[in-house]
Structure 1
Amino acid sequence: MVSRIIKIILVAIGAVACISGGVLYAMFPKIIKAKIEEQLILANGTTTYENWKNIPIPMYVRFYIFNVTNPSDFMNNNAKPIVEEVGPYTFKINRKKEVIGRNEERDTVQYNEVNTYIFQPEISAGTQDEMVYVVNAPLQGIAKIATKNIPPLIRPFFMPLLSSLLIHYKEYVIVKRKIRQLLFDGYEVRLLKDLNKSASRFVKIPPLLPNNTFGLFYGKNATSGGTFTVFTGKSNSSRFTLIDTWNNKRFLPYWSSKYCNMINGTDGGQFPPHTTKEEILYVFSTDLCRSLNFEYEKEVNIKGIKTNRFTIPAQFYAAPVANPDNQCFCSNNQSCLNGGVIELTTCKRGAPVVASAPHFYQASKQYLQNVIGLKPDKTLHQTFLDVEPMTGLVLNARKRIQLNIDVKRTPELESLQSINDVLIPLAWLSEVSQFSLPASIIIIFKQS
């Protein structure tokens, strides 16, 4: 994509320079702009379109798991959890867009992007068969739904039954699992089968897990994250690759207001050309069920190419008391979480999943103080995009997200009687992508 654009630009500049000399030098930026806009179109037969469908940028995702090193003390003595980060477990991501339709009137193209994850043992810290002690996410989900949904008249009968089932199936707050079980392979939560049978006498339990199986990315390998419709840029280059709809909807169904349900921006790999430092860039994340906003931080050179680094501001994670715009992201308006985290319960089947930056970077000190072993570091844990302003191409990016489980003490359940309320990190991931440019193209970028 870039090579074709730059070659055309170079030819145009050379021709104009030979004919007009220095008189028309001031016209070069306009010529460059026009040539870029001609090429940045998602149209059949263009290099841009082919590279957009079959993405040439290598991408990897690194998973880090939080191993709980004091499971007994935490479960039985009200101790703070002590965690040790293990990893990374690295996967290469092969991405391909499957185009399923076009709308010429709206200048849009519709597609599914299929991501395939391939384990890379040579650049991983260990094997996927290693065992770790982690917070029991399914247990917390069951307890949360039972506490919230079971009517008061039924609770005295149902909760003892649930408590005995948890003990029978050895579903404790901390469990020992293989890395592969926590990531893509998943593991069966056998308790759910008996729970559904037993609970049917009292109340209908909503489906908690697909196939009664839990894994952070279970069922997501070689699958699509939904159907996207984006603008081609043909009639308006400023809308190039911006999302029009997701799953044929212009608004999400998860949050309590139209504002929070807005779908803004691109998928994060490309932005419209001629981005400026003053702009706010938006990226829609299906993992976080919302759009992220990025603001300019500083200039960064990538092999001599000037790019603008955009990062997620602290206000994005702020609690509603500090940023009222975030009020509609609370599932319970009376007890919103503190700043630095994103509650995902409403879009994760009621599961008590909370997202944050790794090691609670930019989060409330409360979360950091309640867990021993975390060390937030901007260099290691910040999410950023390095955008080449002329083309809007992301030449370097790090997407870093931590998934935490909101653990609550539940006196009615023996497995949850001797713990404190705490937000325990389960894992964090870093998606890494960096555009590999030939030396000849780098030289041209430097001169533009």
Structure 2
Amino acid sequence: MVSAGKKSGWLMGCGSVMVVVGAVMVILWPSLFFTQLKNMMILSETSMSFSIWREVPIPMYLECVMFNITNVADILAGKNVTLEVSEMGPYVFREELTKVNLTWNDNSTITYYNQKFWHFEPELSNGSLSDIITSINPIVVTVAYYMRHQHPLLKIPVDVFMRMFHEDMFVSANVSSWMFDGIDDPILDIAERFPDLPIDIPFDKFGWFYGRNGSKEYDGVFVMNTGASDFSQIGNLEMWRNSNRTHFRDECGAVKGSTGELWAPELGQPEVTIFAPDICTYMVLAKNETISVLGIEGQKYVANDSLFDNGHKYPSMACYCDEVRDADCLPAGALNVSACRFGAPAFVTLPHFLGLEPPYPSKVVGLNPTPDMVFSVALEMFTGMPLEVFAQLQINLLVRHVGEITINNQLPDPDTLVPMFWFKQEVNISDDYARLAKFALNLRYWMPFGFYALTGIGVILLIIGIWILVKKLLKSPESPILSGVSQEDLANER
């Protein structure tokens, strides 16, 4: 049998170790968890985040809704009508995104290209790619927009030239041509033969995503922070298209913000920044509400009325317009992106002109903005994991009457922002990654309770060990407590 002394020593020894280990781990666990999280998230060829970042395994879909102009005949007949549009779609495409041509840099950054593929999903769509869409001809409008400040003697021959190939400013084509296949236009064919023309049109066809499906170079080259030197900067862009600036002036031209795949733990900060290469700038989303996605609590960030404000309400955003705030600077809610769309008079808004101030919404019939047509992202706060993304934007072309270019001046209103299409890029966390996130969060939350329990058990073992030791000492004849008691008394007690 194990003696009382050995038993007491064993219990007190184990208890002491458990108390020390438990107490130390309770104190150190948050730092240890964060260190392990950093090791998993910092981008390297061996980190867990790398394979997820390089080829996003979560299903992604692009939903495109086209606007069809329904009263072209009345417009061409010269009737005093308002432009009418109707929605067609959505046309849903499954998106595959892969980072290619990776180069690891010495300054904790990585250089890469985005390669995207889109696959039409007819069972998820409302309509087919053969549906015919009628809208304004972007080539005619772009040429007129470019010529708007030129001398009348130059505009007249341009108008004659365009009328040689087009009867009016409208064009009808199927969805496939509008989106990926491109629309043939004789003006583009002729422009291709004269490379010295002042208008730079780098495509032989027009399509919103023409030349983009499967292209490595279309989005440009990105330089992103890996987080190795400063974990708080993980996922943030350092350069885009070999520059740390875009064409916008001052702060609006800065290349900054997350690309959307990697986020450092945000811990409830009031806003997040996302860089959007399609509009050549970044967007700031404000903290909105706490939501739950597949049982994981996260913080939702939503675009508010500061998005595309241009300085009307927020003076810091005045740099989205030229310093001379002329007619090219539209009211709050529309961003002029013509400089990054090859000179086309392209303006970006939220779907259905949500938040766009007068007078432009009143010039189009058929729009019905709803509060959910916003740009939002939801993040899990302690890991930075994206839970859901709803990227919703609308592409519009500004049609202004230009003297002497009569083919461009057929809309009833001389200044109309024509909605072309809007899209929603939707990303939702999958069940597999929800389980992974829950495991990490449970580990973070429950481990301290385990260490508290370990400490508590250690205290109990210490108490038991001390009790056994005291009991042994009380029974020992050499105990100081019993030193004054005679052997006869002890014998009698026994």
Is the pair's TM-score, using the shorter chain for normalization, greater than 0.5? yes
Q: 1:94·1:115 contact (CA, 8 Å) conserved in 2?
A: yes
Contact 2:263 2:384 in 1 (8 A): yes
Aligned length: 419
The amino acid across from 2:100 in the alignment is E
Which one-letter code corresponds to 1:444 in the other structure? F
Q: Residue 216 of structure 1: SS of its match in structure 2?
A: coil
Q: Which moved more, 1:436-445 or 1:387-396?
A: 436-445
Q: Deviations over 1:182-241 (max 9, x none)?
A: 1011112202445788x99xx943223512x11111111111311111121122211112
Q: Describe the SS at the equivalent of 2:339.
A: helix
Equivalent of 2:366 in 345, 363, 373: 373
Residue 293 in structure 1 maps to residue 309 in structure 2: no
**3-state SS in 2 of match to 1:188:** coil
1:359 matched to 2:357: no
What SS class does the counterpart of residue 251 from structure 1 fall into? coil
- C-alpha contact (below 8 Å) 1:133/1:176 kept by paired residues: yes
Alpha-carbon distance in structure 2 between the residues aligned to 1:196 and 1:325? 41
CA contact 2:396–2:418 (8 Å) conserved in 1: yes
- Which of 78, 84, 87 is the matching residue for 1:85? 87
Identity fraction in percent: 23
Alignment partners' CA distance in 2, 1:64 and 1:360: 14
Contact 1:162 1:195 in 2 (8 A): no
Deviates more, 1:433-442 or 1:331-340: 433-442
The answer on 1:390 being equivalent to 2:382 is: yes
Separation in structure 2 between the aligned mates of residue 292 and residue 81 of structure 1, nearest angstrom: 30
**Is 2:209 the partner of 1:217?**
yes
Q: Deviations over 1:312-354 (max 9, x none)?
A: 1211222423222222222562232101011011222211000
Distance 1:17 1:300, change over 3 A: farther
CA offset digits 1:64-109 (Å, max 9, x no partner): 00011111223422421111011011111111111431122x1111
Match of 1:101 in 2: 103
Task: Identify the match of residue 444 of structure 1 among 439, 447, 452.
Answer: 439
2:87 partner amino acid: E
Separation in 2, partners of 1:29, 1:79? 66
> How far 1:442 sits from its partner (Å)?
5.5
Matched with 2:161 is: 165
Cα deviation per residue 1:40-80 (whole Å; 9 max; x = unaligned)? 11112222112211211211101100011111223422421
Distance 1:393 1:384 in 2: 14
| Matching of residues 167-186 of structure 1 within 5 Å | 167-170=163-166, 172-186=168-182
2:427 to 418, 427, 433: 433
Aligned 8 A contact 2:99 2:112 in 1: yes
Q: 2:240 aligns with which of 232, 237, 246?
A: 246
Q: Is 1:340 matched with 2:333?
A: yes
Name the counterpart of 1:278: 269
User: Could you say which residue in structure 1 is the equivalent of 2:451?
Assistant: none
- Paired residues of 2:145 and 2:402 also in contact (CA < 8 A): no
In structure 2, C-alpha distance between the alignment counterparts of 1:101 and 1:320, rounded to whole Å: 38
Aligned partner letter, 1:218? Y
**Structure with more contact order per residue of length (Cα contacts < 8 Å, sep ≥ 6):** 2
Distance 1:219 1:178 in 2: 17
Match of 2:34 in 1: 33
SS at match of 1:317: coil
| 1:18/1:338 CA distance change after superposition, 3 Å | farther
Tell me, what secondary structure is at the counterpart of 1:66?
Answer: strand
Stretches of structure 2 that go unaligned for 5 or more consecutive residues are 1-16, 446-494
Secondary structure in 2 matching 1:50: helix
Q: Is the 8 A contact 2:66 2:89 kept in 1?
A: yes
Is 1:45–2:50 an aligned residue pair? no
Q: Note closer, same or farther for the CA distance 1:444–1:45 as it changes in structure 2 (3 Å cut).
A: closer
User: Which among 402, 413, 438 is matched to residue 394 of structure 2?
Assistant: 402
Q: CA deviation at 1:288?
A: 0.5
C-alpha spacing 1:440/1:424, structure 2 compared with 1 (3 Å): closer
More divergent stretch after superposition (162-171 vs 354-363): 162-171
2:308 equivalent among 314, 317, 327? 317
Task: Name the CA shift for 1:117/1:418 in 2 (closer, same or farther; >3 Å).
Answer: closer
Q: SS of the counterpart of 1:259?
A: helix
